[in-house]
Amino acid sequence: MGCNSKCAYCIVPAVRGREQSRRPDMIVAEVEALARDGVREITLLGQNVNSWGRDLAPGLHTEFGELLRACDAVEGIERIRFTSPHPKDFRAPVVAAMAECDAVCEHVHLPLQSGSSRILKRMRRTYDRDRYVALVGRLREAIPDLALGTDVIVGFPGETARDFEETLEVLEEVGFDSAFTFIFSPRAGTEAAAMPDQVPDDVKHDRLERLVATVQRVAAERNDARIGRVEEVLVEGPSRTDPSRLAGRTRRNTTVTFEGTASPGSFADVVIEGATSTTLSGRELAAVPA
């Protein structure tokens, strides 16, 4: 809980205070209890989850990569996710743990917020465009089939047309599999709320429409590339949109609807036959004629 960062648009540090890490033995004990209850997938959650452990020093010296490895060692846990990491804290031990731990999924939600280094500086994000893109390169080199999600804000105070175009350029360059997109809205008590050069609402909405169109096109292209592959799906139950089909998620956190007979909580190998910008569809491998 809490956050030590000072992002100009965020109220979290003011209302929740500084970061406080739970001790690793407490976390692992909870994971072990979940595993005994039949849980097969866990998500480690924190405001800046990959800075976990630093406030435990000097009594305990540890870091988030060690926690990933400890959870990976728990028998019965077959998938581990975490959210949301801050790019400034995504260090080599965490990348190595992702690459080397069988249960840690090939999926990262890595907030970008803006593709403009000038706007990132105004946001107080403490990284620039080049540093972000370089991190993505290291992640994909270590984890070749990595799926990347992100957060993007449009219309931050002072954002020019060129700043926005730079954000679109990064979306194309990185190739995100998903994105949460937001229009900047001032929050009382934050630095950004009092900044000059607030962007007009009509400009914000126009940029959001263009942003969403780019996100959906890029994601659709990436999902299209999965057609013909066999994906391991953790079955959640009947599809909400078509109860005659099953639904679940891949290790890359993509929703899949499919024909099959697998039970909720089990894993199914699914041949992917179709794709949209947000979902895959197919048939359980056991149901595919030989």
State how many domains the chain has. 2
215 and 242 share one domain: no
120-149 pLDDT, tens digit each: 999 999 999 999 999 999 999 999 999 999
217 and 237 share one domain: no
Question: Which residue, of 172, 203, 224, is where some domain finishes?
Answer: 224
220 and 235 share one domain: no
217 and 241 share one domain: no
The one-letter amino acid code at 29 reads A
User: Largest Cα–Cα distance of the chain, in whole Å?
Assistant: 65
Kindly tell me if the per-residue pLDDT of 290 is higher than 50. Answer: no
C-beta neighbour count of 209 within 10 angstroms:
12
Question: Which residue, of 208, 224, 240, is where some domain finishes?
Answer: 224
200 and 272 share one domain: no
29 part of a folded domain: yes
260 part of a folded domain: yes
Q: Is 124 helix (H, G, I), strand (E, B) or coil?
A: coil
Q: Which two tokens stand for residue 75?
A: 């028998």
1 part of a folded domain: no
* Domain carrying residue 113: 12-224
5 part of a folded domain: no
236-274 pLDDT, tens digit each: 999 999 999 999 999 999 999 999 999 999 999 999 999
Helices then strands, counting H and E runs in the chain, come out as 8, 10
267 and 186 share one domain: no
166 and 261 share one domain: no
